Amino acid sequence: MNWRARRTPRASNHPRLRSAGSGRSSLAPRNPVIPIPTVTTSPLLQVREVSKHFPGVQALDRVSLDLHAGEVLAVVGENGAGKSTLMKILAGIHRPDHGEILWQGQVCHFTRVGDALQRGICLIHQELNLAENLSISANLFLGRETVWGGALRFLRQRAMDRETRERLQQLGLDCDPRVTVETLTTGQRQMVEIARALAMNARILIMDEPTSSLSQRETEVLYEVVDRLKQQGVAIVYISHRLAEVQRLADRVVVLRDGRNAGALNKNEISHANLVRLMVGRELQQFFHKPPTSPPTAGTPRLEVRNLLYEKGPHTPVSFQIYPGEIVGMAGLVGAGRTELAEALFGIRRVSAGEVLLDGRPVQLRSPEEAIAAGVILAPEDRRYHGLVLQNSIRGNIGLPNLDRLSFLRLVARRREANLARAMCKTLAVRTPSIRQEVGLLSGGNQQKVVLAKWLARKPHLLILDEPTRGIDVGAKSEIYGLMGQLASKGMAILMISSDLEEILNMSDRVLVLHEGELTGTLRRDQLSEEAIMHLATGGQGAP
């Protein structure tokens, strides 16, 4: 029997699975043909004047947007602009206080997540929500397994594996459905999340910062998947702080600012300048705040690494220098060993050979305590897990690494701690009603400023920044770039690890490029280009 003839009137572009308790398999054909939709003027989803209030915060104030089948709608804005709240309303997690949502022209009410899922609205969170100890197949069918045997409910494992393999192949991922998720790379896990949404008949896919932990190659694969899903009629809401991604993918952009609509851009209007202007409400005349001239690389280096070998590092020794007032970028693909090298310099990883010199003097950095005492500071990649105590206050977080300077007879001088916190918050423009505010309630950009504040209070000589602007909005990025420029102008040496090539190209005086832990090359500012960095990052030698 022809498969299309058996489809029910309710079926959509993706075959629907029957309920887990039906006892019958309703798997899609091995290679379903999904037609490219015709362009229509009728929106699939409409949000009309939606508002949402939390205690002390007006998260959304009369926000509206339309979404059509087969298009990518980017929703952008600074942290706190209301993007996450709006997406949670669309996914049925929150209920709006005012306004209405229309599904194919009809008013609907999402009182729970299941209501949104029934209409094919799936939210993929920035922090992936997978059961890592289960197989890919088990994750795709979790809670809706296909079974037989009536009340005995025996699993149709082969049928579920077959469906899983087809969904993965639809996304260009060739994996065994029975491997556990914990063995997959971050990019592969992202694809599993998308496959699970498609297996639930997703018609609208909401992606929240989907590339925040992906390598450049994995990001390109995701772009191809998004393009493919568009052709299959899936509507995609794409949230990202990376404006280059928005320019690459979006058909339209809706910009939120302070919980309100700040403007919208069509495809031909999407540019970095227009996005920034709508997001922050002003022009950013100098976004990167980096002077065009490079500091001198003569005299005694602030940091000199000679033939360094370290725990779980490369077999080839690493050597390089960083001079006072210099911002040196460190680039490489995910897994290249950038964070591992930073941890070796900060005393987290054991050094087995070679030496480290600070201002020409050999130093032993066998622990973070010794590194801090020598004036070496590391602001870690994951600020929420390794850089902050989220349940503690701003004052407590800034004071924590400075207790030796704030204590007398092993008692903390609370007034000195408060004065230090206020001074650092003023210097770094931390936006908070009080230094007693819990850090976990701050935006990502302000959390990152608190991380920097607690370490800059120690007046370090060398500052290692691991992904300093990951997951923060464009305004906070510009402020952190400005801070880096100020610190460098005062003679501080900065080692900046970043996966953002635009950031590397515009903020670095020189760039160290790693491939599988090995330093494959160093590029001066006049040699910098995306092609030159990627050539070295993929194992190339010399000029591309």
* Cα(36)–Cα(20) distance, integer angstroms: 30
**Angstrom distance (rounded) from CA 385 to CA 103:** 39
pLDDT at 361: 94
DSSP string, 450-476: HHHHHHHTT--SEEEEESTTTT--HHH
Burial of 312 by CB count in 10 Å (0-12 exposed, 13-18 middle, 19+ buried)?
exposed
Q: What is the pLDDT of residue 19?
A: 32
Predicted pLDDT of residue 254: 95
Contacting residues for 415 by C-beta, under 8 A, at least 6 apart: none
Residues 332-343 pLDDT 10s: 876 788 889 999
Determine the pLDDT at residue 242: 80
Report the alpha-carbon distance of residue 346 to residue 340 in Å, rounded.
10
Measure CA of the first residue to CA of the last residue in the chain; give whole Å: 56
Rounded CA separation 344/208 (Å): 33
Judge whether residue 481 has pLDDT over 70: yes
DSSP 391: T
Q: Which residue has the tokens 């935006």?
A: 443
Question: Closest Cα partner for 89 from 75, 81, 101?
Answer: 101
Structure tokens at 513: 């490029």
Q: What's the chain's average pLDDT? A: 83
The pLDDT of residue 44 = 93
**363, β-bridge pairs:** 356
Give the pair of three-digit tokens for residue 343.
Answer: 């941890």
- What domains can you pick out in the chain, each with its CATH number? 51-280 (3.40.50.300), 289-375+460-544 (3.40.50.300), 388-457 (no CATH)
Give the Å distances, CA to CA, from 144 to 163, 185, 392, 409.
13, 25, 40, 61
Q: For residues 235 and 464, what is the distance between their CA atoms, to the nearest angstrom?
A: 41
Query: CB within 8 A of 2, min separation 6: which ones?
Result: none
CA distance 455 to 375: 10
- Which tens digit of pLDDT belongs to each residue from 376-426? 999 998 888 888 999 999 999 999 999 888 888 778 888 999 999 999 999
Q: How high is the pLDDT of residue 69? A: 93
**For residue 94, what are its two tokens?**
């929150």
- Residue 142 banded pLDDT, cuts 50, 70, 90: confident
Q: Is 14's pLDDT higher than 80?
A: no
Whole-model pTM over 0.75: no
What is the reported pLDDT for 431? 86
Burial category of 363 from C-beta neighbours within 10 Å (exposed 0-12, middle 13-18, buried 19 and up): middle
Mean pLDDT value of segment 246-266: 92
Q: Which of 67-76, 278-287, 492-501 has the lowest mean pLDDT?
A: 278-287
Per-residue tokens: 142: 């979790």
Give 216-252 pLDDT, tens digit per residue: 777 888 888 899 889 989 999 999 878 888 999 999 9
